[in-house]
Amino acid sequence: MEIEHLKEQYETLVSDYQKAVVRLNANQERIEEAVQKIIDLTETVKERVEKQLRYDVEDLEKEEMQLEAELANGSSEGRTRSFPQLIIGSRIIEKTDEKDVQARRKVLFGDLARPSSVHILRNSSEDSTEGPPSNEALAEGWNVSPKEIECDKKTKLGNGAFGDVFKGKLRGKEVAIKKLSFQQFDQETLSEFTKEVGVMTKLRHPNVILFMGACTAPGNLAMITELMPRGSVYDLLQNKEAKISFQQRLSFAKDTVMGMNWLHCCNPPILHLDLKTHNLLIDENYIVKVADFGLSRVKSQNVAKGKAGSPVYMAPEMLLDLGYDEKADIYSFGIVLWELYTQEEPYKDKFKSFDDLVEAVTKKGKRPDVPDVCPPKLKTLIQQCWNPSPAIRPPFARILKENILDHLIIESHISERNEMGRRLWSENFLEQTTVPANKFLPAFYKTIGVQMTGDQEDIFIQCLKILIVKKDKSGGDSVSLEDFSKMLEWFGPLELGSGILQRIEAGLRFKGFFGEIETSDAEKLLNGKKKGTYLIRFSTRDPGCYAITVLTKLGALKHYRISHKAGQPYIVGTNEHSSLEALVKAHKKELYLKYPHVGSKYEAMFNDHDKHLEREGYGDPSR
């Protein structure tokens, strides 16, 4: 029995030992696996650190090259720049204290500062299974030989991304040539240049600069676009001699929205990231086109970070190094819109340093001051665009859909005194500033409730045509919002019935009336005429007002301003009159108005019309 008991104990011990060995082996395997993971992780971390160090070294080498180039050119900026800050043109990339960033994020965005709440974009340098074709593929077919480019380095047009822009010629065509500021590149810089080419080859829109080619030959890297002869919106706004009307500036804003909406509606969306008045160029017809995509990003699936753009136009999320999306461009547009209205530079002399700007914009919510006289609709749009929360900023597509700028353009042209005129244009031609005459005239008659005759000899129709119908570029008859608004101020207000038509006919029939002619032309017409000869014309400065030009008793030419607005009296000095006829009669002796000048185009029109009526047997043509 004792032997059997010992045998059982032995077998139990052996079994326990075997189990212990199995557990020991299993633990050893886990230990070995853990050790291997540590080794693998160490290698991965080492590779990542080495890779990051290589990137840092490359960045420093590029900075050193740029500093050397600037020092060689005598640039004071290059001598004073520090390595923690990289400036490319007007773009700033600056290291920021992480604790400060996190604090600002919390103040500005609260919970939105969490990564899960940020819109996801992909850096253009990362791999993508979707999105646009490769930059190399896009650039292919647009390559231009250096021998084909004639660059006039004496005619510098401005600064672009990574380089300067000069006037030049390509295959006999005047163009703008963007040459990189230095021509010794690593692969990353070359990729950035090719990326800009790739972005621009995709774009075809009337409000986006036309890309015409690129040169990728070493030492001659350049990009060629259409030439915009009137320069940038910034230059025009800063030119104090250039008088740009509020209506024209609103038109610039509408053009910008059209161009930017095209970029954002691309698939995938194209972000500009450096939208400012410097990058809004003007063609010969004062059409604005969005330019300079050196810092564009193509939206995809991962977060896009890193500062890009010009600081005063940069959205808070970009200043704080947060993820950003299309709404960053909306913020920039808010600053642009403010600049277009005020014709001033944003934050001029307000901040001593970049850090001061970041602190004010992101923590204190500082924005440029909007004047109290700013139209409420415009003020609301500006404030929505630069709202600290990206979600509140209206997309360009919504700005277009809601016709915010279209209504502002109409209201800036047509005064409140002509509310019916505003309604006519907004209900029929909201998104247009010029319309075919054969569409305008029926809408005009319908609005005032008068039956439009099909008779082309109708004097009312003839008066409207001679007053506001002009030839467009295609040779067709058209009516512009500007001319319509002037007519309303001279002969309005627009109201139900034929009252405005009768006032127009009476005004154009008035003896000595020459309408819309320049002051110099009026002087030429009266030069050499009898003393006391005079003519009446529209004021060239203020719609609604008139002027009398007269050859005085002493033989000198004098001009007298007649103040007037729709539905209001005609005023010379302090004297008010109900009509031009009453005004001339009252001041005939005082102003030496003896002989109304003859030969106006209106006089010829009425003579032909009256003769036609006589031939038709209507007798006295007077109404």
E strands in 420-506: 434-436, 469-471, 477-480
For residues 509 and 135, the model is more confident at 509
User: For the domain bounded by 512-597, which CATH number is listed?
Assistant: 3.30.505.10
For residue 411 the two structure tokens come to 């209201």
- pLDDT single digits (tens) 22-36: 676 677 767 767 766
Model pTM?
Answer: 0.73
Residues ≥6 apart with Cβ < 8 Å to 225: 175, 176, 178, 200, 209, 210, 211, 212, 291
Residue 543 pLDDT level (bands cut at 50, 70, 90): confident
CB 534 within 8 A of CB 548: yes
- pLDDT single digits (tens) 7-56: 566 667 667 766 776 676 677 767 767 766 666 666 666 666 665 665 56
User: For the domain bounded by 95-413, which CATH number is listed?
Assistant: 1.10.510.10
Residue 383 pLDDT level (bands cut at 50, 70, 90): very high
Q: What is the pLDDT of residue 52?
A: 63
User: CB count, 10 Å around CB of 566?
Assistant: 22
Average pLDDT over residues 197-218: 84
CA gap 409, 592 in Å, rounded: 42
Instruction: Respond yes or no: is residue 255 known to be catalytic.
Output: no
Name the catalytic one among 16, 100, 127, 274: 274
- pLDDT single digits (tens) 245-266: 999 999 999 999 999 999 999 8
DSSP-assigned beta bridge partners for residue 169: 150, 174
Going from N- to C-terminal start, the domains of the chain cover 2-83, 95-413, 417-491, 512-597
Residue 156 pLDDT level (bands cut at 50, 70, 90): confident
Q: What is the pLDDT of residue 136?
A: 53
Q: Is 243 annotated as a binding residue?
A: no
CB 92 within 8 A of CB 311: yes
E strands in 401-495: 434-436, 469-471, 477-480
Whole-number percent of the chain with pLDDT over 90: 53
Q: Residue 183: CA atoms inside 13 Å, Cβ hemisphere, count? A: 10
The CATH H-level (homologous superfamily) assignment of domain 417-491 is EF-hand (1.10.238.10)
